[in-house]
């Protein structure tokens, strides 16, 4: 079909119905005589419908990381547990646990300490490391070390 061909009401209704049944844009396009790209443009950009794969995805939940959970995460990493076991212990996905390990900078052998500046828990590489990453690189680093 030419680029300027308007969508008929029948085509729109059929595309919406097939989309509601989680049909792929390619299948919808084949059924109504449009390209996959034209169907995606109409459904997702112009009509602002949610993508079919987003409709089927389970709702994600975010885990709150309190100091006890962060401490437990560090203990499991230090014990050498695999990522799947750690994820099962927190009832989370392995990718979520991997993100938490990266965010809290958990490394084997590191211990959980409180930052001397902001008092938030962080994983310290040794006794000399007493400021968390945000305090040691920000403006507060100057304030914390000038008070000594």
Is 11's pLDDT higher than 80? yes
pLDDT at 15: 87
Three-point CA angle 90, 91, 94, nearest 5° = 85
Three-point CA angle 131, 93, 122, nearest 5° = 5
Is 2's pLDDT higher than 60? no
Report whether 142 contacts 128 (CB < 8 A).
no
Backbone angles phi, psi at 58, to 5 degrees: -70, 155
Please tell me the distance from the alpha carbon of residue 39 to that of residue 99, in angstroms, as a whole number. 35
pLDDT tens string 134-146: 787 766 555 555 5
pTM here is 0.49
pLDDT tens string 24-60: 888 888 989 999 888 888 888 888 888 765 445 455 5
pLDDT at 40: 87
* Lookup result for tokens 């008929």: 8
HSE-up (13 A, CA, CB side) for residue 22? 6
Q: How far is CA 137 from CA 70, 117, 142, 145, in A?
A: 22, 12, 9, 12
pLDDT tens string 66-99: 888 888 998 998 888 898 899 889 888 888 899 8
Beta-bridged to residue 9, according to DSSP, are none
pLDDT at 57: 47
Q: How far is CA 67 from the centre of its chain?
A: 21
Is 4's pLDDT higher than 80? no
């Amino acid at each position: 079909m030419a680029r300027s061909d308007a969508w008929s009401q029948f085509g729109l209704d059929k595309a919406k119905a097939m989309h509601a049944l989680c049909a792929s844009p390619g299948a919808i396009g084949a059924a109504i005589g449009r390209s996959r790209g034209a169907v995606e443009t109409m459904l997702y950009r112009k009509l602002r419908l949610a993508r079919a794969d987003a409709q089927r995805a389970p709702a994600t939940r975010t885990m709150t990381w309190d100091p006890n959970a962060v401490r437990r995460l560090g203990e499991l990493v230090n014990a050498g547990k695999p990522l799947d076991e750690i994820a099962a212990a927190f009832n989370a996905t392995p990718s979520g646990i991997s993100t938490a390990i990266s965010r809290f900078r958990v490394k084997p052998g590191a211990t959980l300490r409180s930052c001397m500046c902001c008092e938030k828990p962080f994983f310290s590489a040794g006794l000399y490391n007493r400021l968390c990453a945000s305090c040691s690189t920000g403006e507060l680093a100057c304030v914390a070390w000038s008070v000594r």
